[in-house]
Amino acid sequence: MNLAADIQQRLLQASLAARAHSHSPYSRYAVGAAILDEQGRIHMGANIENAAYPQGWCAEATALGAMVMAGGRQVRAVLVSGPGPDIITPCGGCRQKLREFAGPELLIIAADPGGIRQHWTLAELLPYSFGPDHLKF
Ligand SMILES: O=c1ccn([C@H]2C[C@H](O)[C@@H](CO)O2)c(=O)[nH]1
Ligand SMILES: [Zn+2]
């Protein structure tokens, strides 16, 4: 995995700070996400649940929205933090949402308050993915 250690630490701190804003009174599973965009900026998000359960959304979705509204269009890396001890992995829907703004080489990092736990590429988590290029037929 080739993302500088200091940038990974910045993503970790941003993700944990975002996680503190989680609105997750139903699952009590607070999640934070930090996205590194093509301009080297970091965008943050937390999961936001809803009393009408299906209307809640994931931390990755919040962070993607923040990135797009700031003008970012490429995700270079994403760090997702959960409560631990089990390693968090982005849900299937978020893997696809990330695919819109990144290719198979996207670095996905999992963490918890104890630190970074795991690295994957998007290709590992979403093989044979459907992406924007499929619509250039
Ligand atoms: O990668 C993940 C996995 C789960 N959740 C949220 C959705 C829900 O609010 C809670 C429990 O599933 O965690 C995320 O935000 N990101
Ligand atoms: Zn998700």
Read off the pLDDT of residues 65-98 as tens digits, 9 standing for 90 and up: 999 999 999 999 999 999 999 999 999 999 999 9
| Cα dihedral 46/49/120/98 (nearest 10) | -80
Where are the extended beta strands (E) located within 16-135? 32-37, 42-46, 75-81, 107-112, 115-121
Distances (CA, A) of 50 to 54, 83, 90, 103: 7, 20, 19, 31
If you average pLDDT over residues 15-26, what whole number do you get? 99
Ligand 2 (single-atom ion) residues, CB below 5 Å:
58, 91, 94
Contact 46, 22 (CB under 8 A): yes
pTM of the shown model:
0.98
CATH fold label, 5-135: Cytidine Deaminase; domain 2 (3.40.140)
| Index of the ligand 1 atom closest to the CA of residue 58 | 15
Report the binding-site residues for Zn(2+): 58, 91, 94
Whether the pLDDT of residue 1 is over 90: the answer is no
Contact 59, 33 (CB under 8 A): yes
27 CB near ligand 1 (under 6 Å): yes
Distance 69 CA to ligand 1 centre (A): 22
Residue 2 vs residue 118, higher pLDDT: 118
Pairing of strands 42-46, 32-37: antiparallel
Cα separation, 70 vs 10, in Å, equals: 19
Residue 95 vs residue 1, higher pLDDT: 95
If you average pLDDT over residues 44-65, what whole number do you get? 99
Closest by CA to 80, choosing from 126, 29, 127, 39, is: 29
118 strand-pairing partners? 110
Confidence of residue 39 (pLDDT cuts 50, 70, 90): very high
